């Protein structure tokens, strides 16, 4: 997808003032570009587009009735608290409840009171990986090094080779960013032995692991594997968990689990960004988890998205050419399509958008500008009939291109 890098302009008459400030921008600000994610949002906002682009939850899964009930109680009983400023690290009562949640779901013991990159540091990311993660690292001036993935996620042997190359070149390896469960965009799940190997490499090379796990609970078969954090022997794993896929994304609630000093540094950094967490959302989530709704909601969502995944896979079998390859994810939101050498997914995206169908072309997921022959389909948001229409259009276009 081509990202629109147009400068932000002020209101009429303000452009001269805005341009006059450009000489004051920091080097980091000068290097900023529009996020691919925001460009996806623009596509989704067009009502005529059948979008399989964004990893947005289906609004049908939002527990609106339960949230409304809890909200009414909170506004009646605790308005002075839920509408007030909060703490930067989040309320302790919520953190205690989430510690019990993580112990129950992930088998990790968490202490409730439990900043890494600067220019020149090296961050290792998957080829491919979620561009929000790689863009964040790049935004702090880190040198990004890509690590190949296969059908089982990041390859530890390849990571070890790149770590050794960085050290031999006198560089500063700092962290590896990884999504072990139902990876974005490939849908791959990392086996237990690879999770252990990641921790061993982090210990050996003195780096941190940023384990991003937003899709973990959307498991379609059996139970999720233990997170990488479960094998952490030296406190090197910062474990990120989001509630956007299992509660509601609009509240922007997530948690980070790591060593006390690391988390404290994160809290201090946040104080200079947005000061504190939204109080109302925290109270809502606390009551939702405490009342046992979250485990029920996870089961509902997993069943819901499994049906959607099955439907998309059946549609791909029906409509896509036999030469096309794609994964069959065991959870999450995404199917990753491989077309073969010579295919241009960005060109194909423009053709699809002309037919009011959207997806994400492969290149934004690859920091080395490869992946042009790939694209990501999300089965999360479209309804079943809309999905049928969208895949039929894509299949017809692909057959025309591969004649």
- Please tell me the predicted confidence (pLDDT) of residue 45: 66
- Is pLDDT of 182 > 60? yes
- Is pLDDT of 279 > 90? no
- Please tell me the predicted confidence (pLDDT) of residue 394: 96
- Is pLDDT of 15 > 70? no
Of the pLDDT bands very low, low, confident and very high (cuts 50, 70, 90), residue 110 is: low
- Domains of the chain, CATH where assigned: 15-61+297-401 (3.90.1150.10), 83-292 (3.40.640.10)
Q: What is the mean pLDDT of residues 115-122?
A: 70
Question: Mean pLDDT, the chain, as a whole number?
Answer: 84
Q: What percent of the chain has pLDDT over 70?
A: 82
Q: Following CA atoms 8, 11, 14, 19 in sequence, which dihedral angle do they give, to the nearest 10 degrees?
A: 10
Of 388 and 69, more confident:
388
Residue 29's Cβ-count burial label (10 Å; 0-12, 13-18, 19+) is exposed
Q: What is the mean pLDDT of residues 4-28?
A: 50
- Please tell me the predicted confidence (pLDDT) of residue 318: 96
- Please tell me the predicted confidence (pLDDT) of residue 55: 75
């Amino acid at each position: 997808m081509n990202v629109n890098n147009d400068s932000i302009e002020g209101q009429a008459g303000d452009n001269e003032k805005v341009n006059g400030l450009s000489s004051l921008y920091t080097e980091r600000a000068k290097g900023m570009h529009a996020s691919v994610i925001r460009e996806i949002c623009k596509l989704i906002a067009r009502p005529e587009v059948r979008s399989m682009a964004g990893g947005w939850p289906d609004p049908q899964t939002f527990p609106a009735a339960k949230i409304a009930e809890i909200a009414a109680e909170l506004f009646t009983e605790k308005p002075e608290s839920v509408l007030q400023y909060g703490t930067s690290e989040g309320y302790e009562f919520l953190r205690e409840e989430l510690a019990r949640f993580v112990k129950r779901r992930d088998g990790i013991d968490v202490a409730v009171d439990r900043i890494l990159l600067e220019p020149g540091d090296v961050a290792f990311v998957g080829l491919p990986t979620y561009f929000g993660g790689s863009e964040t690292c790049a935004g702090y001036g880190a040198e990004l090094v890509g690590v190949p993935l296969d059908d089982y996620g990041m390859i530890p042997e390849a990571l070890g080779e790149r770590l050794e190359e960085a050290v031999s070149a006198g560089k500063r390896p700092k962290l590896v960013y990884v999504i072990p469960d139902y990876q974005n965009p490939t849908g791959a799940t990392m086996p237990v032995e690879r999770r252990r190997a990641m921790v061993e490499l982090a210990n050996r090379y003195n780096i941190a692991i940023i384990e991003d796990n937003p899709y973990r609970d959307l498991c379609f078969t059996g139970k999720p594997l233990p997170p990488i954090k479960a094998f952490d022997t030296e406190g090197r794993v910062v474990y990120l968990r989001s509630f956007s896929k299992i509660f509601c994304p609009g509240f922007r609630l997530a948690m980070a689990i790591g060593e006390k000093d690391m988390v404290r540094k994160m809290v201090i950094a946040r104080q200079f960004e947005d000061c504190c967490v939204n109080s109302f959302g925290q109270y809502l989530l606390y009551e939702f988890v405490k009342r046992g709704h979250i485990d029920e909601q996870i089961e509902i969502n997993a069943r819901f998205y499994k049906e959607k995944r099955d439907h998309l896979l059946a549609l791909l079998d029906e409509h896509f050419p036999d030469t096309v390859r794609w994964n069959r994810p065991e959870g999450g939101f995404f199917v990753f399509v491989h077309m073969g050498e010579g295919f241009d997914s960005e060109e194909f995206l423009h053709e699809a958008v002309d037919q009011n169908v959207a997806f994400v072309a492969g290149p934004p997921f690859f920091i080395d500008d490869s992946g042009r022959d790939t694209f990501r389909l999300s089965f999360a948001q479209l309804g079943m009939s809309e999905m049928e229409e969208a895949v039929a259009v894509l299949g017809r276009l692909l057959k025309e291109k591969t004649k």
